[in-house]
Structure 1
Amino acid sequence: MCRDCCCGSSKVTGVDHAAQTARLRAEVPVRVSECLDVCEQANVIVVQPSAAGRSAGARPVWLGLVNDADATEDIVTWVHAGGPGVAPLPDILDLYTFTPPRRRAGS
């Protein structure tokens, strides 16, 4: 999960960023990242596939504009069900998915 210049900051209003981070950490493994260079999508959460998901060919799923508690709960539920490559992406989370821009070499 991104927590840097925009994500997790007062730039995204109406979100209890600490509560969102704590909720995710209480339920699933979380790695906090510095800026992922997609600030227009703040708050960004990238769901990595499990070993089983990777074996099935799954790739990370990028979710943007995760700015309400219901979306956070939907992510927790999906990860508990197996996440990418194991459990189908819930239709509601499909609204949050985006493809990050390719990074230039050396970025």
Structure 2
Amino acid sequence: MPRSSRKEPAAPPAPVTVTVCRGCCCGVAAKYPGVDHVGQVDRLRAGVGAAGKVRVVDCLDVCDHANVVVVSPSAEGRRAGGRPVWLGWVFQDDMLDDITGWVRAGGPGVAEAPGVLDLQAFEVSRRVREGLGGASAG
């Protein structure tokens, strides 16, 4: 029987991914009672829209920087040299707006991050990066 010449549709290119830590320290009302932790995730999802995806994880193992958000580049951003950007102490709505605006503009490797996010950015150890693996670890 002859093989079909039809090709499977290509997978869509990987979008910008926003990873939100909601483990033992991040997203916990006992530690940060004045922050609407569920509302933050909803706001990120609404703001990112179709420009990327938002995922929630249990713990990113960088509790000293709680509340942590990692913005990982799209496939296009990676090809352009973009790497995941780790942001700590993300509490304010304007920070969430800066993150979602950056994602809609293309994210790491495609668009320049709003300057105010530089104050939130931090580096993670190789141990943490290697322990996480996958898209958010870079």
TM-score of the superposition, structure 1-length normalised? 0.92
Give the percent of matched residue pairs that are identical in Structure 1 and Structure 2.
59
Residues 22-61 of structure 1 aligned to structure 2 (within 5 Å): 22-28=42-48, 29-61=53-85
Task: Tell me if 1:100 matches 2:124.
Answer: yes
Which ranges of structure 2 fall in alignment gaps of 5 or more residues?
Answer: 1-19, 132-138
Q: Which residue of 1 aligns with 2:26?
A: 7
Tell me how many residue pairs correspond in the alignment: 106
Query: Once the 2 structures are TM-superposed, how far is the Cα of residue 76 of structure 1 from its aligned partner?
Result: 0.5
Task: State whether residues 47 and 97 of structure 2, in contact with CA within 8 Å, keep that contact through their aligned partners in structure 1.
Answer: no
2:105 is the counterpart of 1:78? no
2:16 corresponds to 1:16: no
CA-based RMSD of the aligned residues comes to 1.5
Structure 1: which amino acid aligns with 2:116? Answer: I
Which residue is equivalent to 2:88? 64
